[in-house]
Amino acid sequence: MMARRRLGLFVLLCLLCGVSAAQAEGIIEGLFDKAKSSAERKTRDRVNQRIDQTIDKGLNKTEETAQCVATDQECLKRAKEQGKQVNVVATPPADSVKCVATDTSCLKQAKAQGKKVEIVDEAELDTLRCSVTDTDCLGRAKSMGKKVEIVD
């Protein structure tokens, strides 16, 4: 009811000012079109804002969480020092290699392939890397029931 009165007053005002009814209707249609496009733009902006907020939350959560192998004490310590939450994974990522600290060929190979190195004890390895002439290494592998990879 109130809108009709305003519309009527607007049309009357336009007529008094020398504007025809057709021109008044055109002006009104233009105002409605502007209001419609403004509402669509605001809706689109609000949706985009929500999408951005969701992406930011996901990124923040990722940045605030460290993924560590359960046996990687350095990673766990570093995450604690940085105040990050720790997500403990059962196996190291595919871009890492387990090496014994004294196995220089394993360390060099990992570096050449651009992989991360996880330093472990010999007992944690599934396969020992031994030279054919290294009888101590071959003997340890046999006594521990491990597979042997010949490195020379």
Give me the tens of pLDDT residue by residue for the chain, a chain 152 residues long: 566 666 666 666 655 565 566 666 777 777 778 888 888 899 888 888 888 787 777 666 666 777 777 777 777 788 888 888 787 776 656 678 888 888 888 888 888 888 888 888 888 888 888 888 888 888 988 898 888 888 87
- What single letter denotes the amino acid at residue 27? I
| pLDDT value for 72 | 73
CA distance 141 to 150: 12
Residue with the two structure tokens 């009104």:
28
Contact 130, 122 (CB under 8 A): no
Contact 100, 125 (CB under 8 A): yes
Contact 94, 69 (CB under 8 A): no
CA distance 59 to 56: 5
Whole-angstrom CA distances from 9 to 27, 35, 53, 66, 118 are 14, 20, 45, 66, 81
| pLDDT value for 10 | 65
Core vs surface per residue 52-78: b (16+ CB within 10 A) or e: eeeeeeeeeeeeeebebbeebeebbee
* Rounded-to-5 percentages of helix, strand, coil across the chain: 60, 15, 25
| pLDDT value for 93 | 61
| pLDDT value for 73 | 77
pTM above 0.85, yes or no: no
CA 35-37-42 angle, 5° bins = 95
Q: Is 105 helix (H, G, I), strand (E, B) or coil?
A: helix
